[in-house]
Chain A
């Protein structure tokens, strides 16, 4: 039943044996040791497990690991390989997070948005992060931080 899958994770090739029923989030966290994606709801609703699949944000808790064979996965660890990004700097400057549990997912979603459209307005930002739940901040600081980067670009 086990199958070897090969994928690119944050620029590095990964070969690993997985069962068909293993989820990408569990494989990333427990087998590969990449801890930034978080387990929140387990149903694709909270966004804390968000990673990029071929540059697009997806929910790793409702993705089978076997599905990413031959694909490219980026997590927060990959984004900040050469130091933190302007977006992350902005999050720090705006004190955008409190507990930080949603931060990796929020960062991946906002990164996808800014890659697609470097100058989103506030409504587009709010729409983009609508699937990333934050229970601390009320979102204002997060939106302001993203808007700030968008305006500086």
Chain B
């Protein structure tokens, strides 16, 4: 691994100034579960690594002003251990449990997962259906980017060198709802998704659907959401909805699955996820965290 300078600023403004100075010669470090692997492989060779774990405000995890604020330094296991997240943001909770393994989740962060922007990011569909905002800070100021605009391609986001994601803001939902994240992997335990889907059913009969691992970025399936709007979810409606949902995705064949298998399996897990979402909304579904595949 090429050597680099290391800094651990204690404020966001200090971090932003440092990053502005080094731009693409610097990399940000949180859990390091992606970054250090890339440093090791020589895929990236920064002159400066800026460790953001010394910044207290990035550890924020609370509901305020209608949003759940998930600071950039909040780890997956901190989300999983949060009763607040489990109760009111259950699909984020459910998807966090499917990320890697506990020894990785003790360091890996949700914000880091989003910034790595791999197509199979387990946390992304749950953020898409909750219409999360990504708060980006640089020396110029601060702005919120809707998560649906955040991903630009495999490992590509709207972020430019100098931009730091401070937190995710997830809107609180005031009506009754149920949701689910279903991940299909080759085996239980630590594996990347072959396909994953998150669905949300709301009391006003609107629905939200998003996939990962089956397109260049995690995607929201808006066409099927429109189709489902106002409908009761019956087996017939779901059968009709599946091909519409699949229009949103464009899977590839790789070491984990073929394109054809991914297309078929995405329909199957979409059906299971939506059924679970509706039954959870009605209070009679499987507990969050139950394996549905």
Residues of A within 8 A of B (CB): 1, 3, 19-21, 23, 42-45, 47, 50, 53, 56-59, 62-64, 66-67, 109, 112-113, 126-128, 130-132
Contacts and interface: CB of A to CB of B under 8 A. Distances in A.
B272 interface: no
A131 B53 contact: no
B84 interface: no
Nearest to B2: A21
B229 to A, nearest CB: 37
B77 interface: yes
A20 B29 CA distance: 12
A47 B190 CA distance: 11
B106 interface: yes
Given A20-B49, A23-B36, A44-B37, A64 B101 contact: no
B258 interface: no
10 contacts: A3-B6, A20-B5, A44-B33, A44-B103, A58-B107, A66-B6, A67-B29, A128-B102, A131-B102, A131-B190
B103 A57 contact: yes
Given A23-B36, A67-B53, A44 B6 contact: no
A40 B37 CA distance: 14
B75 to A, nearest CB: 9
A127 to B, nearest CB: 8
Interface in B23-73: 29, 32-33, 36-37, 39-40, 49, 51, 53
Contacts of B1: 21, 23
B33 A59 contact: yes
A109 B102 CA distance: 8
Contact of B107 (A63, A126, A132): A63
Given A58-B103, A58-B106, A130-B190, A21 B51 contact: no
A125 to B, nearest CB: 11
A67 B51 contact: yes
Which of B2, B100, B101 has its CB near the most chain A CB atoms (within 10 A)? B101
Instruction: State the majority secondary structure of interface residues on A.
Output: mixed
B49 A59 contact: no
Contacts of A109: 102-103
Contacts of A1: 3, 5
Shortest 6 CB-CB contacts between residues of A and residues of B: A131-B101, A130-B189, A20-B6, A62-B36, A56-B106, A57-B103
Nearest to B187: A130
A57 B101 CA distance: 10
B4 interface: yes
Contacts of A132: 101, 103
Contacts of A20: 3-6, 49
Interface string B184-196: 0000111000000
Given A3-B6, A20-B5, A57 B102 contact: yes
A50 B5 contact: no
A128 B80 CA distance: 13
A42 B103 CA distance: 14
A19, A21, A62 interface centre (most CB from chain B within 10 Å): A62
B104 interface: yes
Contacts of B36: 23, 62-64
Given A42-B40, A131-B102, A21 B190 contact: no
B124 to A, nearest CB: 20
A131 B100 contact: yes
Given A20-B6, A58-B103, A63-B36, 4 more contacts: A64-B29, A127-B189, A128-B102, A132-B101
Nearest to A69: B8
B3 to A, nearest CB: 5
A109 B93 CA distance: 22
A47 B104 CA distance: 9
B3 A56 contact: no
Contacts of B190: 45, 130-131
